[in-house]
């Protein structure tokens, strides 16, 4: 047997990028978006960054619980969700709060989720999202299951799910993709490769040349996208969604992006494992700066637009955290009663014993 006959070969993965650092676009790849849609993409990214800054402050004040900053990843988050229909499903990881709020989950419920309140996990019936997975990579399997359900019911909707580059090292990642590939399911796997699984660099997590190539082994279309380019992310997801709706199966999108802040507000210190030079290099690719340059050349964005969006975001966050903080506190009996349509006898006994001891 000669070498050529037993080598496993993989396809070369090209990086999709549309918006350059100076704000010019590749017209051949430019998605068909109206001026209003372009402005809305910008509004949502600016809004999300302001919301992120306020959420960090609220967490430091003890008014939120767990929080994972998103600054730097607005293009991959906002651009991908914007390409979906309201009827499509979003299965997020714990950093993906912007996508599920832009998909319809009330923001005050996202705050309640962060605070550990059960009402934070009660998704309105007309909102097609699952609550964020804390277990690393578990949402990959969930999304494949939801996609199978859609296929069996003959729906033309797709499922999108997100994980980080660390999540792509989990067993669930391979199981979910294999299932989706075997059954040609309408699911879009987005790996937001921000370079680090908490503090472990991607180069120490995997020997694969790209994460996108891992999808090829599962028999699904796999692409690598400039995750700091909102237009590229929109196009990649739009194309993947069209494939899913047409019965052509799943897509893996590796979004090359960067989180400007820490992994979470729970003690991570990126200065321990990143250099100033690296952070400065990525700052030049800031998705909001790049897109702003493009919109300004088309007279679609101004300083007043930016200022008004920031003020709107600050006021919205203030109103929504007030609503969250005025929600009745969760009680042990309420938690037990909400678990089953008919509470099992052993839990009724436990609730009775608790009430006799604690009163509420």
Catalytic residues: 259, 263, 273
Give CA–CA dist 198/164, Å, rounded. Answer: 10
H or E element at residue 195: none
Give CA–CA dist 215/189, Å, rounded. Answer: 9
The set of residues, in sequence order, having a beta carbon less than 8 Å from that of 313 and lying 6+ positions away, is 46, 47, 48, 50, 51, 54
Angle of the 138-152 helix axis to the 171-182 helix axis, nearest 10: 20
Strand partners, 153: none
Phi, psi (degrees; rounded to nearest 5) at 26: -85, 105
Strand segments (E) across the chain? 15-16, 89-91, 159-164, 187-193, 196-197, 200-201, 221-226, 251-256
Nearest residue to 325 via CA among 129, 94, 62: 62
Dihedral over Cα of 349, 351, 353, 356: its sign: negative
Query: Which letter does DSSP use for residue 285 in this model?
Result: T
167 CB neighbour count, 10 Å cutoff = 24
Rg (CA), the chain: 22
The pair of structure tokens assigned to 295 is 């919109």
The answer to whether 120 touches 110, Cβ cutoff 8 Å, is yes
Strand partners, 25: 19
Dihedral over Cα of 160, 161, 162, 168: its sign: negative
């Amino acid at each position: 047997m000669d070498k050529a006959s037993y080598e496993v070969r993989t396809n070369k993965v090209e990086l999709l990028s549309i918006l350059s650092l100076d704000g010019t676009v590749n017209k051949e790849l430019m998605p068909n978006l109206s001026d209003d849609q372009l402005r809305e993409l910008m509004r949502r990214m600016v809004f999300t960054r302001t919301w992120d800054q306020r959420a960090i402050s609220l967490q430091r004040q003890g008014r939120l619980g767990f929080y994972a900053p998103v600054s730097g990843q607005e293009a991959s988050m906002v651009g991908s969700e914007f390409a979906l229909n309201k009827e499509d499903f979003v299965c997020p990881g714990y950093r993906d709060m912007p996508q599920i709020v832009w998909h319809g989950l009330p923001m005050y419920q996202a705050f309640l989720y962060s605070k550990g309140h059960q009402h934070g996990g009660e998704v309105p019936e007309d909102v097609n999202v699952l609550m964020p997975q804390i277990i690393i990579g578990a949402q990959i399997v969930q999304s494949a299951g939801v996609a199978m359900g859609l296929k069996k019911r003959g729906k033309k909707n797709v499922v999108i799910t997100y994980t980080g580059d660390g999540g792509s090292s989990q067993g669930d990642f391979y199981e979910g993709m294999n299932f989706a590939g075997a059954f040609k399911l309408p699911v879009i796997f987005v790996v937001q490769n921000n370079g680090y699984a908490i503090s472990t660099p991607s180069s120490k997590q995997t020997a694969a040349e790209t994460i996108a190539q891992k999808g090829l082994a599962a028999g699904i279309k796999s692409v690598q996208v400039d995750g700091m380019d909102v237009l590229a992310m929109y196009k990649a997801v739009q194309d993947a969604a069209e494939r899913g709706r047409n019965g052509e199966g799943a897509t893996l999108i590796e979004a090359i992006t960067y989180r400007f802040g820490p992994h979470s507000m729970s003690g991570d210190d990126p200065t321990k494992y990143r250099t100033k030079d690296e952070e400065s290099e990525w700052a030049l690719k800031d998705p909001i700066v790049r897109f702003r340059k493009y919109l300004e050349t088309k007279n679609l964005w101004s300083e007043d637009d930016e200022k008004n969006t920031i003020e709107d975001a600050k006021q919205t966050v203030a109103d929504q955290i007030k609503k969250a903080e005025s929600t009745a506190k969760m009680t042990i009996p309420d938690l037990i009663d909400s678990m089953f349509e008919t509470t099992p006898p052993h839990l009724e006994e436990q609730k009775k014993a608790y009430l006799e001891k604690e009163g509420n």
